[in-house]
Structure 1
Amino acid sequence: MMADSSRLCSVWLGSETGILKGVSLGRKQAFNFCNTRQLSRDQEVRALCWADPAQSELLLGSVDGTVRTFSTEKGAFTEARRCGEPAEGCFTGLAALSGSATVTCVECGTLRVWREDSSEPATELHAGQNVCRMRQSPVHRHKVATGGKDNPLKIWDLQRPESPAFTAKNLRDDWLDLRRPHWVRDMAFIPDSDKVVTCTGYHQVHVFDPASPQRRPVLEVEYGEYPLTALSLPPGGQSVVVGNTHGQIAVLDLRKGAVRGCLKGLAGGVRALQCHSREEAGQTAGEAGSQEVKEEDDDEVWDAMERGGGAKEENNNRRRGGGGESEEEEQEKEEEKAFED
C-alpha cells in the first residue's frame, strides 16, 4: 500500500519531527511514510535531495548526523548511515554523485564525500565556519558552492578539493569607508553559464561571475528589509525567486536588477524554495498553445456579435422609416426643434 502511495507523490516534505510526507497533487492527498510512534526531535529533517537522476530514492539528512535513504518505489526507508556528529552542527546541504557517492556539509564547515562501500569519508575539506548552505551544480555535478555568515561564496571542484576553485572577494566598503558584512544564506548555479546567484541575510541578491577578475558581484540588488533565507531559479535562468524571514516571496530580474512581482498569502519565514523543473515548463508551454486556440475562438465569437449588432441596427432603421439615422442623431434633431420653438 505504501509503495503504491509513494508512486503517486510528486512533492516531498521533511518535518522537524522527522516525518517524511509525500503529496499527490492529482488526488490532493498527503501520505506519511514514517512510524509516528517512534519519532523524536533527533530525527528532524534538515536536508533533502534526490539520490539518483531517475528520482527513485531520496536522501534525508537528520539533526543527529544520520543520512537515511528512502525508496519511492518500495515506499520505505532502505538504509541509514552515520555521516556526522551532532556537535558539528546540522546539515546545510546534501548532494549525490555518480557511483552512489554522497556529499554532505555541516554548519561547522566540514564537507565530506562518502562512498557506498565505506564507513569513512573518501574526501574531506573545510569550507570555513558558519556555513549556511551548500549547493551542487546541476550540470557539473562534481562542483559545489558553499557560503555562510562572514564566510564568502566558494566554489569547490571535488575532483581537486585541495583549495576552492573560486572565492568571492568581500563587498566594497560603504560610503563611510566601513566594512560591509557578508552573510550568504543560499545560492544557485545559473544555467548555461558559470555564474552563481546568492541571497544574503542583509536582504541582498548578488550575482558572481568566476570569470571576472575582480571576484566581486557583477550585479547587486536589494529586496525588502528582512533577511533573505532561500532562493530558486525558474527555467531560463533570467530571474530568481527569493524568500525572507517574514514570509515574503518575490521574483527578481537578473538582467535589470528589478522586482518583477511579489507572491502573497504565506505565513511564517521561508526555509526553502524549489521552482518546477524544465518538464513542467514544457507543459506550461503546451497550455499556452491551448490558450492561443481559445483566443482564436473568442475572436470568432466577437465577430459574430458584431454582425448581430449590425443586423439589429438595420432593423431599427427600417422601423424608423428607412432613414438610416441613429438614435443620437434623432435626439439632436428633437433638441434643436425644441430650442427653435
Structure 2
Amino acid sequence: MKWSTANLKNPNYTENHELYVGTSTGTFKRFVPAFEQKPFGQRNLYDINQLERNDRVTALSFGLDTSEIFIGRAKENVHIHSLRSDKVERIINLNYAPVVGLARFNDYLVAGFSNGQVQRVPLEDKSETECIVNSGDDMAHLRQCPSDRNLVATGGKGRQNNLKIFDMAADGKQVFTSKNLPNDYLQLEVPVWDSDVGFIDSPHTLATCSRYGYVRVYDTRKQRRPVQCYATEDQMSFSTLVTHGNYIYTGTTMGVMKAFDIRRMQSFVHTYKGFTGAISDVSLDSTGKYLASASLDRYVRVHHVDSTVLLYQCYVKSKATRVLIRESAENPNSTAAEAAEDDVNEMESTKKLHIKKKDTIPEDKEYEDIFENMQTICENDEEDDVSDSEDVENTTKENDKLAKVGAKRKAEKGLAENKKKKE
C-alpha cells in the first residue's frame, strides 16, 4: 500500500527519538515512539484553555542546544520552552507578526517575519538596542547556518525577495544576495519564489526550493547565480526542505517527499511515500538517518533516509505545521515504570491517610447505641413475610380438615337414607 490512515510503527524502529509538533490550532505536542506501552500517545505541552485564534504555530527551532525550543506563532511574541523544566520559561514580545523563522546566537534571538523584516532581540542585556533589517516585502522562511550561527538566510516570493544572507553579529549586514537565471527563450523573466532555504554543511553553500517547481544550489564563493538547478515541467510545488551532507530533502504541496543529491541534480534519488496531504515541514535527527515530517493531513511521520521505509506514523488530531526531532537522553520505558510505581505509592499512601483519618475520628456512644437499637426495615419485612406464610399454611390445613369431616358426614347420611328406603 502507498498510504495508510492507521497509526503504525515498524518493529525495526528502535531509536530513542522524541518528536515535537506544532499545529494550526496552536497546540504544541510531544511524541515518544520508543515508549513501548503507548508509542502513539501524545502529550500537550501547552495549556489548551489558554489558546487563542491567532496562536497557530508558524516556526519551531532549537536554541543553543536541544534543551530549549523557540516557538513562533501568528502573533507578536515568541515562547521559549525549556525541555528540562517542561514549561514555558519566557515570552519575548516582537514588533511584527507572523513569525516565519527563528534563530539564536550568543545572547540574541533573531526572528524573521512574513513582511520581510528581520529583528534581532537581546535576551540578557535589555539596555542594548534592537536591530531590524529589511530583506524585502514578502518573506517565506528564515534559516540559520549551523556552522556559523550569526549568519541567517532568507527567501521569499518575487525577485526582490530572493535568497539573501545577513550577518546579525554585524548589525544585519547583507553578505550575499542571489541573482536570477537569464531570461527564457521569449526573453521573459524567470519567476522566483524561494519557499524555503537551507545551508549545506557550510556557510558558503546553500539550497533553495520553490513553489514554482525548482530546487537550486548556490555557492557564494563562485557566483550569485545558482551553480546547479533542478526543474521540472510537472506541477511540483516545493514547500519545505532540509539538508544534510550532500543531500537535500524536500516536501511538496501535493504530498510527495523527494531527496536530491547535489552532485547530480538532473533527477531526484529517493521518493518517500505515505502522505495524503501537503507537507508543511521536515526535520532530520543528529545522525541524518531519520527524516521526520509534518503534514496537513494531520499526521506526523518518520522515514528512514536510505531505505525510504515508513517507520512511524501517528495521528496528531490537528493540522501539523512544524516538527522537530531529537535524540532523547532518557529511557522512556524506565521512566514510565518509575512513574507508574510512584503513582501506586501515591495511591497506597492516600489510602493509608484515609484509614488513619477514619481511625482518629472520636466515637459518640449515644449515637452508636441509637443505631444499634433501631430496627432495620429489611429484617421486619422478612419477618412479616415469614409470619404471613405460616398463617396461610395453618388456614389451609384447617380447611382441609373441615372438608374431610364434611365429606364423611355426607357419606354417613347417605347410608342412613338408603337403609330407610329398603325397609
TM-score of the aligned structures, taking structure 2 as reference length: 0.60
Runs (4+) off by over 4 Å: none
Tell me the equivalent position of 2:75. Answer: 64
What is the SS of the residue equivalent to 1:112?
strand
Residue 123 of structure 1 pairs with residue 134 of structure 2: no
Aligned to 1:309: none
| Higher deviation after alignment, 101-110 or 28-37 | 28-37
Distance 1:9 1:44, change over 3 A: farther
Task: Check the 8 A contact 1:185/1:201 in 2, yes or no.
Answer: yes
1:159 alignment partner, SS class: helix
Q: Which amino acid aligns with 1:63?
A: A
Partner in structure 1 of residue 216 of structure 2: 206
* Alpha-carbon spacing, 1:9–1:84, altered in 2? closer, same or farther (3 Å): farther
CA deviation after TM superposition for structure 1 residue 65, in Å: 1.2
CA 19–241 in structure 1, closer or farther in 2 if over 3 Å, else same: same
1:77 to 2:88 alignment = yes
- Separation in structure 1 between the aligned mates of residue 24 and residue 260 of structure 2, nearest angstrom: 30
CA distance in 1, matches of 2:172, 2:109: 19
Q: Distance in 2 between matches of 1:211 and 1:67?
A: 34
The structure-2 alpha-carbon separation of the partners of 1:279 and 1:240, relative to structure 1 and needing over 3 Å to count, comes to closer
**Corresponding residue number in structure 1 for 2:307:** none
Residues 140-289 of structure 1 correspond to what in structure 2 (within 5 A)?
140-150=148-158, 151-161=161-171, 163-192=173-202, 194-213=204-223, 215-223=224-232, 224-234=234-244, 237-257=245-265, 258-278=267-287
SS in 2 for 1:43: coil
Aligned counterpart for 1:113 among listed residues 113, 120, 125? 120
Q: Equivalent pairs: percent with the same residue?
A: 28
Q: Give 1:160 shift.
A: 2.5
Greater shift in the superposed pair: 219-228 or 172-181: 219-228
- Which amino acid letter does the alignment assign opposite residue 115 of structure 1? P
Relative to structure 1, is the Cα distance of residues 14 and 47 closer, same or farther in structure 2, using a 3 angstrom cutoff?
Answer: same
SS at match of 2:88: strand
Q: Alpha-carbon deviation of 1:10?
A: 1.2
The aligned counterpart of 2:111 is 104
Higher relative contact order (CA 8 A, sep 6+): 2
Query: 1:79: Cα distance to partner?
Result: 1.3
Q: Which amino acid in the other structure matches residue 95 of structure 2?
A: G
> What's the offset of the Cα at 1:38?
2.1
Shift in CA distance, 31/51, structure 1 to aligned 2, threshold 3 Å: same
1:210 Cα offset (Å): 0.7
Cα contact 1:9–1:22 (8 A) shared by 2: no
For structure 2, the residue ranges without an aligned partner over 5 or more in a row are: 1-15, 291-303, 305-423
Structure 1 CA distance for aligned equivalents of residues 220 and 17 of structure 2: 38
Q: Which structure has the larger Rg over C-alpha atoms?
A: 2
What letter matches 2:243 in structure 1?
L
Whole-angstrom CA distance in 1 between matches of 2:172 and 2:76: 25
Q: Which residue of 1 aligns with 2:364?
A: none
**Residue number among 89, 102, 105 corresponding to 1:94 in the alignment:** 102
CA distance in 2, matches of 1:198, 1:145: 10
> Structure 1: 5+ residue runs without aligned partners?
1-7, 285-341
Distance 1:238 1:217 in 2: 16
CA deviation after TM superposition for structure 1 residue 200, in Å: 0.8
Structure 1 245/279 Cα, relative in aligned 2: closer, same or farther at 3 Å?
closer
Contact 1:171 1:182 in 2 (8 A): no
Tell me the matched-pair count. 268
> How far apart are residue 120 of structure 1 and its match?
7.5
2-side partners of 1:274 and 1:146: how far apart? Answer: 18
Summarize the Cα distance change of 1:81–1:180 in structure 2 as closer, same or farther, 3 Å threshold: same
Partner residue of 2:61?
Answer: 49
Q: Name the residue aligned to 1:136.
A: 144
Contact preservation (8 Å) 1:110, 1:127? yes
Given that residues 171 and 180 in structure 1 are in contact (C-alpha distance below 8 angstroms), is that contact kept between their aligned partners in structure 2? yes
In structure 1, distance between residues paired with 2:239 and 2:127:
33
Output the amino acid matched with 1:78. Answer: E
Contact 1:104 / 1:111 at 8 angstroms: preserved in 2? Answer: yes
TM-score between the two structures when normalised by the length of structure 1: 0.74
Distance 2:246 2:90 in 1: 39
CA distance in structure 1 between the aligned counterparts of 2:288 and 2:272, rounded to whole angstroms: 23
Moved more, 161-170 or 101-110: 161-170
RMSD: 2.1
